[in-house]
């Protein structure tokens, strides 16, 4: 597939890099995404100006690795020898042997677009455009994995997306992948946040039962939501 490169990690395994990811942006669709369909013409004009500025420089990227699950306990498991403690992760990967740790980003380039800090509307629009570009990168990764490894439907789980898998374990996830900053420009801060902010890390996998982290999340207004919250299922992992 176009834009696939490899780099050897500190573990001696190949870290795959996806670049040259095609990006198409439509101002009207971005407004629909944030529930602003049919608003004033000036909103559409502002969004069009920003999408026009983004398209020439947008360069979303993904890094991933083929990894294997082992040494399961009641509430933990290892991925390529790195221990993760999480009941929801353990349960989700119960019958899964091969997984794909990943980091995806909208790219540093979009942080260079200058929007006055006091122009709150344009700042918000640019933020949503970045998130849309990040979604493009994640969907590209899913399609790549399905095609290259002949997988069924892809599920994703991200540290910090559910209470049962804390964001602090991003450090372990990054350690599996190697030097993510050199590969795609994403660094992990001391507070376990990623820079650029519109980046996401997690584990992709294919299983008979599709996992949706949205079923464990009660946040209603979320543009990433794919399924309604299941209070009973969420309660199972609350006290993890």
Residue 74 lies in a domain: yes
Domain assignment of residue 130, given as a range: 4-208
Would you state the torsion angle of the CA atoms of residues 112, 173, 19, 59, taken in this order, to the nearest 10 degrees? Answer: -20
Provide the pLDDT confidence category of residue 230 given band limits of 50, 70 and 90. Answer: low
Domain assignment present for residue 236? The answer is no
Domain presence at residue 224: no
Residue 239 lies in a domain: no
Task: Identify the pLDDT of residue 204.
Answer: 95
Q: What is the CATH number of the domain that holds 56?
A: 3.40.109.40
Query: For the chain, how are helix, strand and coil distributed in percent, rounded to 5?
Result: 40, 20, 40
Does residue 234 belong to any structural domain of this protein?
A: no
Residues 61-85 have pLDDT tens digits of 999 999 999 999 999 999 999 999 9
pLDDT digits 0-9 by tens, 7-32: 544 444 588 999 999 999 888 888 88
Tell me: the pLDDT tens digits for 167-199?
999 999 999 999 999 999 999 999 999 999 999
User: Does 145 map to a domain?
Assistant: yes
Distances (CA, A) of 178 to 94, 95, 105, 186, 231: 25, 26, 16, 12, 37
Domains identified in the chain, total number: 1
pTM of the model: 0.84
217 occurs within a structural domain: no
Tell me, yes or no, whether 231 lies in a domain: no
């Amino acid at each position: 597939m176009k834009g696939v490169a490899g780099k050897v990690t500190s573990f001696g395994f190949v870290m795959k890099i996806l670049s040259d990811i095609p990006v198409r942006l439509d101002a009207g669709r971005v407004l629909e995404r944030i529930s602003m369909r049919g608003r004033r013409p000036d909103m559409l004009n502002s969004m069009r100006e920003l999408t026009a500025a983004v398209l020439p420089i947008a360069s979303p990227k993904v890094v991933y690795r083929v990894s294997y699950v082992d040494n399961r306990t009641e509430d933990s498991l290892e991925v390529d020898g790195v221990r993760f403690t999480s009941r929801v992760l353990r349960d989700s990967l119960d019958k899964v042997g091969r997984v794909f740790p990943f980091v995806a980003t909208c790219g540093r380039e979009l942080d260079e677009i200058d929007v006055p800090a006091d122009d709150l509307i344009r700042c918000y629009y640019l933020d949503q455009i970045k998130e849309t570009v990040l979604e493009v990168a994640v969907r590209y990764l899913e399609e790549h994995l399905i095609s290259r490894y002949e997988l069924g439907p892809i599920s994703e789980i991200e540290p910090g997306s559910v209470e049962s898998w804390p964001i602090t374990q991003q450090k372990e996830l990054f350690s599996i992948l190697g030097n993510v900053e050199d590969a795609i420009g994403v660094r992990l801060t001391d507070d376990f946040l990623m820079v650029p902010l519109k980046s996401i890390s997690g584990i992709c996998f294919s299983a008979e039962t599709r996992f949706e982290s949205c079923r464990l999340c009660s946040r209603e207004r979320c543009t990433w939501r794919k399924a309604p919250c299941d209070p009973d299922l969420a309660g199972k992992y609350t006290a993890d």
